[in-house]
Amino acid sequence: MKTFAELNFPGRLIAVEGLDGSGKSTQIYLLKRWLEAEGIKVYFSSWNSSELVKSATSKGKKRELLTPTTFSLIHATDFADRYERHLLPLLRAGYIVLCDRYVFTAFARDVTRGCPPDWVRGIYNFAAKPDLTMFFKTDLEVSLNRILEGRPKLKFFEAGMDLRLSSDPYESFRIFQGRILEQYMAMSGEFDFVVIDANQHVEKQQAFVRKLVGEKIDLSKFKRRSPLPLPPAFPPDPAKEAEEDMAA
């Protein structure tokens, strides 16, 4: 798996990964804002956001109809659509592309749900490796508390209730997310994850993220010729971030 730099793309791709409630979406949002303020050409894409399959995924989850294999194939279709129609064109145009979750989400979740590892990786074998992958590692209780700050209860698939791990959704969440964490940590060396302590304050994490990006990527090569107006500086709503993680 070669990086986009190794494949001679003008652009660079940065991905963030983490458990539901890890705060990774907040961190990549703040990184995007900072890059925009620095006049950098930047594009953002999130997991499970393709219009091609988004509505079908939502309906399947609401009716609790999705099997592990169906989950995997739907997410692969979503990723392939975004990869070909959004990520590659922007990388060819010399943008820094930010991805809130990449193929590693599938490698971790789908395998945890029982899909064969080689099969899961095979359906994503067209994807290049990010130039930088940050994994936001947080304690399970911290993740759980962050999710519940935004809404009163866990959702069915988010807690792994489809796997019948426990009749208690909170215990099921701990087991399910704990297994996903094990998959991520097993991959971290293979795919060169930079593991970040997501239990820290948001500001401390973001300072490290910006320093890391500046060290790994020559940002001066991605400056816009003319500045763009910045969007409103509202931080992500914790409840919305938890919803986005659930939707993934």
Mean pLDDT of 124-147: 95
Which are the contacts of 200, defined by CB distance < 8 A and separation ≥ 6? none
- Of the candidates 234, 230, 197, 218, the one whose C-alpha atom is nearest the C-alpha of residue 23 is 197
Residue 70 pLDDT greater than 80, yes or no: yes
> Within a 10 A sphere around the Cβ of 219, how many other Cβ atoms?
15
The amino acid that residue 191 corresponds to is F
pLDDT in tens, 167-192: 999 999 999 999 999 999 999 999 99
User: Where do the DSSP E strands lie in the chain?
Assistant: 12-18, 42-46, 96-100, 132-137, 194-197
Cβ distance 169 to 153 under 8 Å?
yes
> Within a 10 A sphere around the Cβ of 109, how many other Cβ atoms?
25
- Of the candidates 15, 73, 31, the one whose C-alpha atom is nearest the C-alpha of residue 202 is 31
DSSP state letter for 231:
P
Mean pLDDT of 22-51: 94
CA distance 119 to 126: 13
Mean pLDDT of 232-238: 56
* Homologous superfamily (CATH) for 12-247: P-loop containing nucleotide triphosphate hydrolases (3.40.50.300)
